[in-house]
Homo-oligomer: A and B are copies of this chain.
Amino acid sequence: MADKNISKRQLTDFFGSLLKKIQVRDDVAQYLIEGIIQASLRGVDSHGIRLFPHYLNGFEGGRLNKKPDYKFTSNALSTGKLDGDHAPGHAAGMEGMLKAIERAKESGIGAVVVYNSSHFGAAAYYALKAAEHDMIGLSFTHATAHVLPYGGMRPFLGNNPICLAAPCEGEGPFCLDMATTVATFNKVQQFREQGQKIPLGWGVDKDGRQTEDPNRLVSLFPIGNYKGFGLSMMVEILCAMLTGAPYGQNVSQMFGTPMNQQRKLGHFFVALRIDAFEEITVFKNRLKEMMDKLRQEPSLDPQKPVMAAGDPEKRCYAERVIKGIPVPASLLSHLNQLAANYHLPELTSLD
């Protein structure tokens, strides 16, 4: 069955009303919803509204805290640590990034770790927030171990993402948001749900053999072999070693573990004030110029122009803001079941 397009507004209201009914605090609900809607608008469906039922289970099971009591501590002007008190990662993470932005305003750069957090969705959400403030934003999280070390046989680290956003003249920020693996595990999950094969080269099964079956895949290949794994380790150091969070194989599973089990994840955020280095207009104009030059480069396939990181997401965002977010039939029926359970109006398609 074809996807139905549902408007951003309708989904936002629906999630908001539902989270209000289960007494999630407003600020917590707002960041969570903003984060998943933004991911879906940008076409990052693996990290978007698809996960709402999972987070809802988290609130109901006790994994996620509806009314977190954040604690921010700091022993230096430009740094700090935020205890996320098991809030959804979107909420704890955004609190952390906002602290980093505050500190960058004071001293040029702010670096904040968040601990006792949970799955934070797409890393872009936080870095893009810094870009709104004419800063460069960087965001990192560690995750469930799904990545094969170079030469190894089983997962050791998470598909730890790296994200940098920087404001650009005349268009949305440059935004690189990449997992350090060939594919993400959430994408594998999406193939499972849709009953599709995955391409060879994404990873291996429990015996270390490459597989096309998303249900058999347990370990993802890092990009560039030891390099991608090294990047994953870099992120683990920032997110687990600096926060005291469990690391590597001790990071809890996102799926398949009791929903009363807290994730205890760590994130790392940096906000860097551009005008501490360069005039902001000069920076934005030059970045725009570089991106346009890149896009004008001759391409191997004339049908596929060269793109900058984040270009597909920008294009998708522009489209979905108008046409709505495509919701697969199975997800739509799940959401409408929730609507019925919570006495909320059914979601209706824009088509």
Assess whether A16 is interfacial by the CB under 8 Å rule. no
Is the contact region of chain A dominated by helix, strand, or loop, or is it mixed?
mixed
State how many angstroms separate the Cβ of A137 from the closest Cβ of chain B. 12
- Closest B residue to A266 using CB positions: B277
Chain B neighbourhood of A234, CB < 8 A: 162, 164, 176
Q: Quick one: copies of this chain in the complex?
A: 2
- A300 and B208 contacting across the interface, CB-CB below 8 Å: yes
Chain B neighbourhood of A287, CB < 8 A: 237, 241
State how many angstroms separate the Cβ of A264 from the closest Cβ of chain B. 14
Interface residues of A in 289-307 (CB under 8 A from B): 290, 293-294, 297-301, 304-307
State how many angstroms separate the Cβ of A221 from the closest Cβ of chain B. 10
Assess whether A343 is interfacial by the CB under 8 Å rule. no
State how many angstroms separate the Cβ of A124 from the closest Cβ of chain B. 12
- A228 and B223 contacting across the interface, CB-CB below 8 Å: yes
Chain B neighbourhood of A106, CB < 8 A: 76-77
Q: A77-B106, A224-B182, A298-B152 are in contact. Are A230 and B309 (CB under 8 A)?
A: yes
Chain B neighbourhood of A244, CB < 8 A: 278, 282
State how many angstroms separate the Cβ of A89 from the closest Cβ of chain B. 18
- Closest B residue to A310 using CB positions: B230
Assess whether A248 is interfacial by the CB under 8 Å rule. yes
CA distance A111 to B244 in the complex (A): 24
- Closest B residue to A289 using CB positions: B247
- B178 and A299 contacting across the interface, CB-CB below 8 Å: no
Assess whether A20 is interfacial by the CB under 8 Å rule. no
Assess whether A172 is interfacial by the CB under 8 Å rule. no
Of A106, A107, A277, chain B has the most CB atoms within 10 Å of the CB of A277
CA distance A118 to B286 in the complex (A): 21
Q: A233-B309, A300-B152 are in contact. Are A241 and B77 (CB under 8 A)?
A: no
Interface residues of A in 20-60 (CB under 8 A from B): none
- Closest B residue to A77 using CB positions: B107
Assess whether A338 is interfacial by the CB under 8 Å rule. no
- B233 and A277 contacting across the interface, CB-CB below 8 Å: no
Interface residues of A in 212-265 (CB under 8 A from B): 223-224, 226-231, 233-234, 236-238, 240-244, 247-249
Interface residues of A in 166-224 (CB under 8 A from B): 166, 174, 176, 178, 182, 208, 223-224
Sample (10) of A-B pairs whose CB atoms are under 8 Å apart: A77-B108, A109-B109, A111-B276, A136-B237, A154-B297, A154-B298, A178-B224, A178-B230, A233-B308, A248-B290
